[in-house]
Structure 1
């Protein structure tokens, strides 16, 4: 694998992570001069999937050999209704989780009948029968979960943003991080927000902070140990090490699979490292270690050992 290809492959995976992180409705447009709005990756993914359904290459059969033994998690209809009830009663954590549920289901809700074919098309383009089997399973799990959300009705994009904003106003730290932008009535100052995330050891909120609007603060805090090209990768892996569930069969990996085609019965770290040549892998691992050490020195006590 040459350096150019490996860099391109990793960039695609990181783009997939950001898609999972900010989703369809949580991409904030910067209005201040000189800051272009980021691309709506979820909408782009929808367009790409629609285009692929017209490709004649999509008709080749999918082998189901080597399907994983575990099953992707699915929130049942009863659990979904209970989550909605807690959110409507004012539970900020439930409001944030409901926003994420809407976020995951938004694209599928645009064309529920056509979604199985979109998944099949994506499966046909994956590099192995095992990956194809995993995305087929991930797609079925997502469809089952989304069928219990608002009785499978089309999801307005506003539902995603409004519930996440409500959770932020209710004090949920991950939601505050997720919706951060200048001049929010519920926003903390950037430095204060990072300090609070570190002090509380909130890996999900750390993960949410790793977006285009935090580049300056990331450089200020970690610029001495991170290279510009690897900053997002290292911080994302650090968040996974610190408690965000990025393991095999997780909701995170399920979404990585259906949204970005990164389908494996492995953790995100194992999957990402497997795309890199040894030299780049070692550099990235050293940077992850350095980030964990800095966070620990700043008061984050729950660092975990490196994977072999």
Structure 2
């Protein structure tokens, strides 16, 4: 009989493409992955892996068995969901991922509510950008991810994932206190045609959104600085190095010398939770979504200027 944990190891190798990637995904050593795969080869009596340069690749038999392993593990997930749903208890472990401002803005409140309401549930969290978070859920490395899209740029959700809205986040434009528009009640993006911008790193979803949005306003973006963390972006603005989009979710204290002005027409970030449809009935997933929604509702009131 095939060993489920060895099938899980083969599935991780197929999804991550390398022994080291499988080890990271399973939180074990590369030696443990190699040992499990060697035992699986002995069980099936066929070679599942072949050397490929400095790495490995799946043989035809390995690919065939990996496809079966993915389906078997999905069925196991569905069985676990059904058993948990029948029992109706929020227990076990749930792994949550979120992009940084959502992790900072939602996780502390949501996790506190889960700990108070479901003390037998173990919650693990990590920070991942939206696209990486969805990949982690699809791979089985996370149970739920908090992701985002914008009112004018949607983030496609792959087949096999369910989603639920958590909140809408309204960003402002951050600029130095000495900027000519710093005392305005609201601004247009077109007002910043001659400004340098501080943006998220190239290739990230929000960077692509910013550049496409500015171009739609007839502005060729002058991206002067790239920073993943909003606190770093705001520090650059405080030092006079441009302007940036400053979401309110997870914003925290704003440095002295920075002014925040609402933009028209109103921009919105739509914040969602996504999880695998085969885990849809798990009480732990439903509890996590509920806690995240409640944390989002607590942030529904608009933030005061400069907050």
User: TM-score, normalised to structure 2's length?
Assistant: 0.25
Say which structure is richer in strand.
2
Q: Which has the higher helix share?
A: 1
- In our comparison, the structure showing a higher alpha carbon Rg is 2
